[in-house]
Amino acid sequence: MPRGQSMLTPRNTTRCPKRKISLATLLSGLAALSVILTITIQLIASYQSKKRALFDTTLTLNHSNAMKMSLTMDSLFKSMRSSLQYTAGIMADNRLMNEASRYEYLELMRKSSNYFNSIVAVDETGIVRTTAPQTVGTTGTPLTTDASKEALSLRKSYTSKPYISASGRLIMFMSEPLFDKDGLYRGMIAGTIYLQENNIIHTIFGSNNMDELGTYFFVVSSDGSLLYHPDKSRIGENVSRNQVVGKTMQGLNGSEQVVSTRGVALLAGYSTVQENNWGIVVVSPIEKVYEQLNRDTRLMLIYMLPPFLLLMLSAIWLARKLARPFVSLADLVSKIGKEKVDLPVPQSHWNREADLLTRTIMLAVADIQKRADQLTQAAVTDPLTGLMNRRTMEDAMNGWIAEQAPFSIIVTDLDKFKSINDTYGHQAGDEVLKHLAAIMKQLVPVVDICCRYGGEEFVILLAGTTVTDAFIVAERIRLTMEKSHEPLGKPVTLSLGIAHYPSHALSAESLFLQADQALYEAKKRGRNQTVIARSYEVSAELNQTESRG
């Protein structure tokens, strides 16, 4: 039984902190998840509801505006028709009215109503008898356009389709026949409307601008050509391929979502003018509706954030209070092997298990870090000379080549080093190696890398240098070593080979091979000299310059 109790007790004590931490995490997670889900569902539902409401409201308003405008235009054209009919009656009853009287009457009618830009009286033969204003200059000339000839031949009320006149204007006209008291046809009265110039229609429908939400309207003729549009360059363009324009051409009214002939998604309301079969379309870009919808959604989200944040902060505070010691330990352990870890002073925790675990891990981390420091130092340095080792050299070369950063490599070899070992012993040879390493450390900038490659062979990596710079450094090392009598009491010479990335090679292996071949060439030439890979002429010139200096 005591044995069973001893096994049971640690099992309970080790599970308690896990259960507490898991519960805190679970509670904070559930609280956050429930709030997030609630807000998400509410936002989605509200977004979809407002989207539908905005779309419906926009479609309804656009249709209502299109209907109002079509009724306005319909009433306007009926008034214009009535005005022409009244004038035709006056002119028919006073057939013997002289030219001056007819002109004064037509001019009075034109100026008083601003319905028409010009009014003409045409006899039954198609000759223009009177024109108001006279500046039009058509008096006494025959009718030339197909529409005017058709109106004269029909002998009834007529409204032409918009067309481009000889003067380049977009115009249309309305006409009424003239019958005398005996019922004989005496010609017609025609009022001309310049659709893009000053008149009552242009005043009402020509000042067409977008509002702050991008809503605008346009007017199309019975054949689908644009008569009024905010973009003046599109006047006269045929847009009958537009779905709602096609419906106005069929005399329909309504509202719907549509894509324009230029690929823009729109919410359109449309209506047909009964008097002239024109169509009026009021549109709002869906993009603008979405912008308004997104603004409303952001505003709602702002109102919802404070209580959400308060709840989240409360849950996070409780969870962090429970998990703080374990998070600290996990953070500490995660840094091992990545960086130098400064062990904090162990603190007593209110949680027994956290306190015990903290002290145990602190001791373990201290021991691991000590061993890691020793291994790291041993892994990157040469134990005899204190220089970087071959692995460090290879890592540096590969890193610089990956970054495409130019650099030079100097491969150095002690001349007749075997005879030094044979004559003076290996201990003396080691002293020579350490002496050369000391000279390298002294003459090579600290930002560059000096390595012992193996045996009596050394490598120097000079970042961002040219071949000439590397040659100067190599010669300084060679001459300093030659002039020094330490530690053997006589000079020890060097042979050096230089290569440059990317001038001589594009890979670490090839670059080292180039420098090593240059070193071999220096040995072949008699040792105690520096040779640049594949540039022996330059090397010779620099050697001569150095010797003269």
Is 88 within 8 Å of 177 (Cβ atoms)?
yes
Query: Which 8-state DSSP code applies to residue 232?
Result: G
What is the model's pLDDT at position 460? 95
**C-alpha separations of 360 from 322, 357, 372 in Å:** 19, 5, 18
**Residue 380 domain flag:** no
Question: Is residue 443 one of the residues assigned to a domain?
Answer: yes
Is the CB of residue 411 less than 8 Å from the CB of residue 518? yes
Strands 254-259 and 265-272: antiparallel
Is residue 12 assigned to a domain?
A: no
Q: What is the pLDDT of residue 531?
A: 94
Query: What is the Cα–Cα distance from 391 to 380, expressed in whole angstroms?
Result: 7
The answer on pLDDT for 198 being more than 50 is yes
Does 10 reside within a domain? no
Would 192 be classed as within a structural domain? Answer: yes
Cα separation, 125 vs 27, whole angstroms: 98
User: By C-alpha distance, which of 378, 293, 217, 227 is closest to 51?
Assistant: 293
Residues 408, 459 contacting (CB under 8 angstroms): no
Query: Known catalytic residue: 237?
Result: no
Rounded CA gap, 19 and 475, in Å?
70
Does residue 514 sit within a domain? yes
Lowest-pLDDT choice from 79-83, 377-381, 515-519: 377-381
**Is position 99 within any domain?**
yes
Same domain, 155 and 38: yes
Mean pLDDT computed over 97-106: 81
> 316, 339, 367: which is the final residue of a domain?
316
pLDDT at 359 over 60: yes
Query: Do both 305 and 394 map to the same domain?
Result: no
Please give the residue range of the domain that contains residue 432: 390-548
Same domain, 173 and 289: yes
Contact (CB, 8 A) for 200 and 113: yes
All residues at 6 or more sequence positions from 517 whose CB lies less than 8 Å from its CB, including other chains: 497, 533
Cβ 453 vs Cβ 459: under 8 Å:
yes
Q: What is the DSSP string of 400-431?
A: HHHTT--EEEEEEEETTHHHHHHHH-HHHHHH
Counting the structural domains of the chain, the total is 2
Q: Output the domain CATH number for residue 495.
A: 3.30.70.270
| CATH, residue 157 | 3.30.450.20
Q: Are 448 and 310 in a shared domain? A: no
Place of tokens 């374990």: 326
d(CA 236, CA 225): 5
* Residue 6 within a domain: no
Domain boundary among 316, 341, 362: 316
> Could you check whether the bond before residue 133 is cis, i.e. omega within 30 degrees of 0?
yes
What is residue 279's predicted lDDT score, i.e. its pLDDT?
93
232 pLDDT above the threshold of 60: yes
User: 302 and 218, same structural domain?
Assistant: yes
Q: Are 140 and 103 in contact (CB under 8 A)?
A: no
Amino acid 538: pLDDT: 41
User: What DSSP state is assigned to residue 499?
Assistant: E
Q: What pLDDT digit, counting tens, does each position of 317-357 carry?
A: 766 676 666 667 667 776 665 666 666 666 666 667 667 77
| Secondary structure of residue 335 in the 3-state scheme | helix
Both 188 and 306 in a single domain?
Answer: yes
Per annotation, catalytic residue among 176, 353, 456, 475: 456
Q: What pLDDT is recorded for position 351?
A: 64
Could you give the CA distance from residue 256 to residue 63 in angstroms, rounded to a whole number?
9
Residue with tokens 């204190």: 386
Query: Could you report the per-residue pLDDT of 302-316, keeping only the tens digit for each?
Result: 887 888 788 777 777
Q: What tens digit of pLDDT does each residue of 415-465 get?
A: 988 988 888 888 988 999 999 999 999 999 988 999 999 888 999 999 999
| Chosen domain end from 269, 290, 316 | 316
DSSP-based three-state secondary structure for 142: strand
Task: Tell me if residue 137 falls in helix, strand or coil.
Answer: coil
